[in-house]
Amino acid sequence: MADDIHTLRSDRLTAVVSADGAELHSLKTADGHELIWQAGSQWPRHAPLLFPIVGRLKNDELIHRGRAYPMKQHGFARDQRFQWVERGSGSCALILTDNAETRSRYPFAFRLTVTFSLTSSRLEVRLEVTNTGEEMLPASIGAHPAFNWPLLGGIEKQAYRLTFSDDEPAPIRRLRDGLLRMKPEPTPIQGRTLAFSERLFDDDAVILDQARSTAVRYAADYGPSIEMSWDGFRELGVWSKPGGAPFLCIEPWHGTASPSDFDGEFAAKPGVMQIARGDARVLSYRIGAG
């Protein structure tokens, strides 16, 4: 068990990271208040890492040079065991490299490094994707942290809202059978504010594929709050399980599910990063507790 998880501590926060999926399992305040969803029956994950795809591919297949490879929703990183490369009191780092199992689904050489750094009241997660192969590396990556909703017992779920750092007037995207619907839809965001209700997620995630913001605040009028910011990501998903569940996911992405009419080569899929041989792409996000 000691090799499975690692605990980071500051004067105001405690974070628990697992080697399985390089997944954040817990983020608690100094008074022991848990911010992260504890993988209950409605959804058995905490904060999975999405790689090398975000969302679904059509027919759950990745096409490369005309050959189809099986690739399930959100990719395989969340189900792989990462190797520890650093374990300190304030930071830790893990890596995943390609292997026979990953190459059977994703025929590319890569190294994925995930670094967690804890300061007094903020956790930073740094994702570095390195192309260790001989050809261009196409990849998508996304964060999927789930926060308790409500953050504090006794507060109505509808009292919470997401406040964006910038106005978000652009239409949003929705999913059908896990794929992007053809037509954008009017945004439910009013200026910089997204009000929450159980019905908001009847059509699955709210997807901002033209996001202006690089930060949001998740809060009610009182009680704990979450400040989240990011760099390098282009899209944002906001999700809870349709039908109602006590968690809310705030998900910076680089890439989305495939458009429903797209079944071409993975390298040509909209939103995919193209990383040249020997190069790396770095993305990061931060979670602050208020």
Taking CA atoms, 13 is separated from 10, 138, 175, in Å, by 5, 36, 36
Please report the pLDDT score of residue 201 as a whole number.
95
Task: Express each pLDDT in 174-198 by its tens digit.
Answer: 999 999 999 999 999 999 999 999 8
- Mean of pLDDT values over 109-127: 97
| Paired tokens of 68 | 């189809």
Q: How many helices (H) and strands (E) does the chain have?
A: 1, 24
In the structure, what pLDDT confidence band is assigned to residue 67 with cuts at 50, 70 and 90? very high
What is the overall mean pLDDT for the chain?
A: 96
Write down the pTM of the prediction: 0.96
Taking CA atoms, 137 is separated from 54, 81, 103, 231, 253, in Å, by 15, 22, 13, 20, 17
In the structure, what pLDDT confidence band is assigned to residue 112 with cuts at 50, 70 and 90? very high
Q: How many other C-beta atoms are found inside a 10 Å radius of the C-beta of residue 49?
A: 25
What's the first-to-final CA gap in the chain, in angstroms?
Answer: 31
pLDDT > 90? residue 122: yes
Task: Express each pLDDT in 35-54 by its tens digit.
Answer: 999 999 999 999 999 999 99
- Mean of pLDDT values over 93-110: 98
Q: In which element (H, E) is residue 101 found? A: helix 100-103
**From CA 265, how far away is CA 235, in angstroms rounded?**
21
pLDDT > 70? residue 1: no
**From CA 123, how far away is CA 119, in angstroms rounded?**
6
pLDDT > 90? residue 290: no
pLDDT > 90? residue 244: no
Domains in the chain (CATH in brackets) are 5-289 (2.70.98.10)
Q: Say if CB 201 and CB 239 are below 8 A apart.
A: yes
Supply the DSSP string of 173-224, one letter for each residue: B-EETTEE-SS-B----BTTEEE--GGGGTTS-EEETT---SEEEEE-SSS-
Please report the pLDDT score of residue 2 as a whole number.
63
